[in-house]
Amino acid sequence: MKSAVLLLPGLNRDRDMIAALTRISGEPPVTVWQTETEIPDVDLIVIPGGFSYGDYLRCGAIAARMPVMEAVRKKAQAGTRILGVCNGFQILVEAGLLPGALMRNASLKFVCREVLLEVVNADTVFTGRYGKGDIIRCPVAHHDGNYFAAPDDLKRLEDRDQVVFRYAKGTNPNGSINDIAGVVNEAGNVLGMMPHPENLIEAAHGGTDGEALFAAALEIAA
Amino acid sequence: MIKARVTVTLKNGVLDPQGKAIEGALGSLGFEGVDQVRQGKVFDLELESADPKNAEKQIADMCEKLLANTVIEDYAVELL
Q: Which of B17, B67, B69 minimises the CB distance to A104?
A: B17
SS3 B23: helix
Instruction: Give the start-to-end residue ranges of the domains of chain B.
Output: 2-79
For residue A100, which residues of chain B lie inside 8 Å, CB to CB? 71
pLDDT for position B13: 87
For residue A57, which residues of chain B lie inside 8 Å, CB to CB? 66-67
For residue B24, which residues of chain A lie inside 8 Å, CB to CB? none
pTM > 0.90: yes
Q: What is the mean pLDDT of residues A161-172?
A: 96
pLDDT for position B50: 87
Burial grade of A156 (CB within 10 A; 0-12, 13-18, 19 or more): middle
Cα separations in angstroms, B64 against A220, B18, B51, B67? 41, 23, 20, 7
**Cα–Cα distance for residue pair B68/A171, rounded to 1 Å:** 31
Nearest to A51 by CA among A81, A92, A10: A10
pLDDT for position B15: 86
pLDDT for position B75: 98
Please measure the distance between the N-terminal and C-terminal CA atoms of chain A and give it in whole angstroms: 14
pLDDT grade for A215, boundaries at 50, 70 and 90? very high
pLDDT grade for A85, boundaries at 50, 70 and 90? very high
pLDDT for position A221: 86
Burial grade of B12 (CB within 10 A; 0-12, 13-18, 19 or more): exposed
Q: Is the ipTM of this complex over 0.95?
A: no
Per-residue pLDDT of chain B (80 residues; tens, 9 = 90+): 999 999 999 999 898 988 999 999 999 999 999 999 999 999 999 999 889 999 999 999 999 999 999 999 999 999 99
Does the beta-carbon distance from B72 to A101 stay under 8 Å? yes
pLDDT for position A186: 97
- The rounded percent of chain A whose pLDDT value lies above 90 is 99
Burial grade of A78 (CB within 10 A; 0-12, 13-18, 19 or more): exposed
**Cα–Cα distance for residue pair A199/A41, rounded to 1 Å:** 26
The fold for domain B2-79 equals Mth169; Chain: A , (3.30.1280)
Does the beta-carbon distance from A148 to B14 stay under 8 Å? yes
Q: What is the mean pLDDT of residues A160-165?
A: 98
